Amino acid sequence: MCPQLSNAVAVVTGGGRGIGEATCLRLAEDGATVVAVDVRGDDAEATAAAIERTDGEGEAIGLEADVADESAVESMAETVVDRFGRVDVLVNNAAIRVEPRPVTEADAESWDRILGVNLEGAAFCAKHLVPHMPEGGAVVNVASNGAAVGRPNWSQYDATKGALVSMTKDMACDHAPDGIRVNAVSPGWVITEYHLPDDEDEAEAFFAAKTAPHADGPGILKRAAEPREVADAIRFLASEEASFVTGTNLEVDGGVAAVGKGLEWDSLS
C-alpha cells in the first residue's frame, strides 16, 4: 500500500489539461508532491505552477514526454527518481483520439498512433515507474466507459480502453506481492477544453449547460461530468481509503454503462 497522499510522490500523465490537470490539483490538495507529465511541456509546467500558487507545501513540477516513446518515458522516470527518490502513485491518464470510423476504414497509421499512446504508453510508464515503488503504491489507469458500451465508429479508441481495463486486472495480480494496487476508472462524457467553444463566454455557458441535468443528457444522471468529479475518483483509488481495492474498474459515468446512452427523462420521474 502506498504512503498517505500527504507524503506521496504522484506522477500523472496527460497532466496538462482536462482530467489530468484536475487530478494533479486534487492530489496536491492532499499534500502530494505532483509530477505533471504531458506531451505539451508548456501545459505540464502551467499545471505545476497552478499547484504552487494554491498549495504552499506540496512540490510540483511539469515534465514534457510523449508516453508512446519509450525512451522519452525512461528519461522522464529517471528525472522523477533522481529528484524525489521514489514514486508512490502513477496515474496513466494520457490518451488521444483519432477520427472516429469503423475498422473497415481505419488505416495502420491511426492504429499505431492510438495504440502507442493509449495502451503502450500506459505500459511503458508502468514499466519504468512501478519498479521505483519500494514501499508499495497505487496505479490508476484512466480507461473509458466506451470499453463497456457499444457505439458506432469508435472501435479504435474503445479497443484501447477495453484492453487497458483488461491489463489493469493482470497488473493487479502481478504487483500485489509488492504491495502495489492497480485499478482503473472509466469516465463517461467529461467536459474538458477539448469540447469547449473558443469564445470564453460561450465556453462558460456550454460547460454549465452540459454539466447540469438536461432532458437529452447521457446516462442515469442525465448530464456530463466536470473533470474534478473524475479526479475525485482517481484520488480515492490512489489513497489509503481504497486499501482493499485492486484489480477493479470504477465506472465514473453517471450511469451510462448501466443503461446505455441514456434514459428518457420521463422514466426518471
pLDDT at 2: 59
Q: What is the DSSP string of 20-81?
A: HHHHHHHHHHTT-EEEEEESSHHHHHHHHHHHHHH-SSS-EEEEE--TT-HHHHHHHHHHHH
pLDDT at 265: 67
| Alpha carbons 64 and 90: distance in angstroms, whole number | 16
Going from the N-terminus, what domains does the chain have, and what CATH number goes with each?
A: 5-193+225-255 (3.40.50.720)
> 137, 114 in Cβ contact below 8 A?
no
Residues near 165 by Cβ (< 8 Å), separated by ≥ 6?
141, 143, 147, 184, 186, 249
Q: Which long-range contacts (CB under 8 A, 24 or more apart) does 145-154 make?
A: 145/186, 145/187, 145/188, 145/251, 145/253, 145/256, 145/257, 147/186, 147/249, 148/186, 148/251, 148/257, 149/256, 149/257, 149/260, 149/261, 151/261, 152/102, 153/100, 153/101, 153/102, 154/100
Model pTM score: 0.94
The residues annotated as belonging to the active site are 157
Cell output for 141 = 489507469
pLDDT at 197: 83
Identify which of 72, 165, 179 has the alpha carbon closest to the alpha carbon of residue 133.
179
Identify which of 35, 41, 6 has the alpha carbon closest to the alpha carbon of residue 23.
35
Question: What is the DSSP code (8-state) at residue 16?
Answer: T
Rounded-to-10 torsion of CA 184, 109, 96, 148:
-40
pLDDT digits (tens, 9 = 90+) for 210-228: 999 998 899 999 999 999 9
> 13, 21 in Cβ contact below 8 A?
no
pLDDT digits (tens, 9 = 90+) for 38-84: 999 999 999 999 997 665 567 999 999 999 999 999 999 999 999 99
> 54, 230 in Cβ contact below 8 A?
no
